[in-house]
Structure 1
Amino acid sequence: MDPGRNRRTVRRVWTAVAAALALPLSMLAAGSPTAQAAALQCSVDYKTNDWGSGFTVDLTLTNRGTDVIDGWTLTYAYSGNQKLGNGWNGTWSQSGQTITVKNAAHNARVAAGAAVSAGAQFSYSGSNTAPTSFSVNGTTCTGAHQPPIAVLTSPSAGAVYTQGQAVPLAATAAAADSATISKVEFYDDTRLLGTDTSAPYALSV
């Protein structure tokens, strides 16, 4: 067999694969990137039972995103002199006016659309104004966020790779509403190739 002919055949096969990987690049303007980012989305329901000098609080954390929340730390702050007594369904702590709640073993995972609860008892004097902002794992819980944006930066459009050569995939990702990126998924058309959970987001196939 002519070695030159064999090399040309291999080149044509890998051009087709590279084109398939790069195809969605021409569709980015239509909103179909090949790298997809997922951001934590959550809401917190805050309820109290107040008797004038103390109160109990019931917090319900709801996962508004599409991915499981695997372990959570919820934080919020009071504006008064509320003092933590004891808590349940999580590890509660207080530093100044800031309250931190870490998941218990039995409620660490929160499936998409599911909710978990935790509660505590506090004492106070004067006013007992409810907190206005809650954060989970560093992301402010405001309900559903605007979808994150992922842009494939490698391979470049029209890139050609020979058989056996690794194809480097790379992407940038950004989230709206002060959300954080939990992962970026790389696809060949609709087939998932792999996932990266930290920037810089990359994969070699």
Structure 2
Amino acid sequence: VPTSPPEMAKACEQLKAADPSITPLGVRGVRFWSSIHTAAVSIARSYGVHDFVVTDGKLDTGLASPESIAFHKDYVDMIKKCAAPSFANDNWYEFVDGISSGRTAMAIDSNMFGFWNDVAGKPASGKIAFAPPLHAPSATSFDSNIWIWALAMNAASEKKGTAWLFIPWATSKQVALKGALAGQLVHPP
């Protein structure tokens, strides 16, 4: 299982050589916030990239840092070698269709793919597996931004007590296990 963008790029080249009809990697490319908050941001953080930095007392982007340049080089190379030709227009729907139909081998995104692992008549049913997100080749740990779904409570809520009772229950191991075993919990919070 590839663990870094360079390893993924190499694996994608091998997949393309073995079967040119398969898209090696589904990943969002459409110009929308959702395209960067899963794969790109998670991987970038493992390279040490920060959205904003303070330089000489002034707020600046962290995009010119050596870490950011290394990340972008590896990420763009991976996209060129792995993603569909339609990458720049692909959103969630396109690569979910690719994964569930068996036309796309792998994807980097949210944890929603388990839902398509038990759909009668779909080529990928029962064949979807999960792995940790990619990270920098030298990273020993990483901060995943693939959180997608979460629970929060508004500070202005008039029912904080009820919310505090609901949140621990909804995020409990018991609810997650029951939902996972019954296929009723696609996105555990």
Instruction: Please give the range of the TM-score, normalised by the shorter of the 2 chains.
Output: under 0.3
Give me the TM-score of the superposition, normalised by structure 1. 0.20
What TM-score results when the alignment is normalised by the length of structure 2? 0.22
Structure of higher CA gyration radius:
1
The structure where helix makes up a greater share of residues is: 2
Q: In proportion to residue count, which structure has more strand?
A: 1
